[in-house]
Amino acid sequence: MALQAWRVAPASIKALYVCSFLMNLGFFALIPYLTLHLTGHFLWSLALAGVLLGVRQFSQQGLTFLGGIVADRFGCKETLVFGVAVRAAGFLAFAFCSEVWHFFAAAIVSGLGGALFEPSYQAAFARLTPDEHRKLLFSFKNIVSNLGMVSSTIVGSVLSSLDFFYLSLVSGSIYIAIAFLISWKLPKLTVEFSRDSVFKDMQTILKDKPFVVYTLILIGYYYLFMQLFLTVPQIAETVAGSKSGVAYVYAAISISVIVLQLRITRKLQNYENRFMLIGLGTLIMGIGLFSFVFAYNLLLLLAGSVVFALGTMIAGPLLMDVIPMFAPPRQIASYYGFNGYSLAIGGALSTIVGGWFYDLGVLWGWPGFPWIVCLGVSLLASWRLYVLKDDRNRFHRASPVLPNDSN
């Protein structure tokens, strides 16, 4: 099925696949090791490191709504190129940070870049994906992303063992390469200019109650997912006794997705209630994290990581695919951007509150505390998704936008 997905993908989608691979390679090579760099070399508490990651996350996801509006009005390609260039500047800046405020400034810059490129990337992918291969191509995107993630474990572990300085330079340079690739390979998408004001567009989305509810529910999903960037690296290093434990966990998750994603997609492709499937995946993610309570050795930790990965394989490809079902064609990037608030809030809670819960568990002699919270969050989110009806096909999906031949 992987070869079939690559064969049927248009050239523009193949370019976006390469971008997705590189984005995950650069991001996952840096961010997990940034936490270990701060707590190890600079002796930050895990809570303070969590605040930094939360600020970076919120500076990205908290502004993706505006980033989506910019993409809808000025073009996905242009916004995407500018956004990855800003992300590159932020990642390169980490190489030269020595004070607390330096790290926070670099984190905010890297987050702002993501606020610009993330909704424009998702909108471009949705617009350029042929209807007849939609599920296959979205699922394959999840595989490509995880290929980047598993490759990042090699890059991150090798370069961090040398010096974090080199890791920052390489990660930033990857995003510079992405900017050039998009400029060269991605077709220019026509823009349907709105006669409504920006505030009118924002008001339209805020009045879309089912979409707002869906976005709020996903806060729980992202609370679980973002554990990958703070508490999971911490427990991986603790259990394994070295930073190599982080690489093992990421490799277990990524290889599981690479091997099983298309098989799971094929098994579930005839199941119509996508919201229920997202809820099922969220619940399984919570069970996987809860199993860390019993992770007394690396093998048990990896087993729980694979269960977590199974949940992401069920829910992950559907999270973004359902958004065009809510969105009018001309506002698709804005809807993706607004949905980013779920990641902004869930990610901030995950890194800030999750890091605090982890420290409290250690302080109380109850290290399973943060993972019990994760199970509770997954139960609540999956229940809310279960009762959310999948009958919202007002616009079906955004109409495909043909490339502008002048580019």
Q: What is the DSSP letter of 196?
A: S
**Rounded Cα distance, 374 and 161, in Å:** 31
CB 156 within 8 A of CB 18: no
The pLDDT tens digits for 220-229 are 999 999 898 7
Give residue for tokens 């199974």. Answer: 310
Best mean pLDDT range from 145-154, 183-192, 208-217, 385-394: 208-217
Residue 91, pLDDT > 90, answer: yes
Residue 404, pLDDT > 50, answer: no
| pLDDT for res 94 | 96
The tokens describing 272, both together, are: 């119509």
Q: In b/e form, how buried is each residue of 179-209, taking b as 16+ CB within 10 angstroms?
A: bebbeeebbebebeebeeeeeebbeebeebe
pTM of the predicted structure, to 2 decimals: 0.76
Domains of the chain: 2-185+208-395 (1.20.1250.20)
Angle 363-366-368 from CA coordinates, rounded to 5° = 125
**Rounded Cα distance, 170 and 88, in Å:** 10
Q: Is the dihedral of CA 224, 226, 231, 235 positive or negative?
A: positive
| pLDDT for res 398 | 38
314's enclosing H/E stretch is helix 298-321
| pLDDT for res 399 | 37
Q: Is 332 left (phi over 0), alpha (psi -120 to 50) or beta?
A: alpha
Residue 193 or 289, more confident:
289
Q: In b/e form, how buried is each residue of 39-68, taking b as 16+ CB within 10 angstroms?
A: beeeebebbbbbbbbbbbbbbbbbbbbbbb
| pLDDT for res 254 | 83
| pLDDT for res 396 | 43
Q: 3-state DSSP helix/strand/coil percent for the chain, to nearest 5?
A: 85, 0, 15
Q: What is the mean pLDDT of residues 13-19?
A: 94
| pLDDT for res 209 | 87
Q: What is the mean pLDDT of residues 346-375?
A: 87
| DSSP letter string, 321-364 | HTHHHHS-GGGHHHHHHHHHHHHHHHHHIIIIIHHHHHHHHHHH
The pLDDT tens digits for 42-85 are 988 877 888 898 888 788 878 888 888 888 888 889 999 999 99
Residue 286 or 329, more confident:
286
Residue 329, pLDDT > 80, answer: no
The pLDDT tens digits for 218-270 are 999 999 998 987 789 889 988 888 778 888 898 898 889 888 888 888 888 77
Q: What is the DSSP letter of 80?
A: H
Q: What is the mean pLDDT of the chain?
A: 85
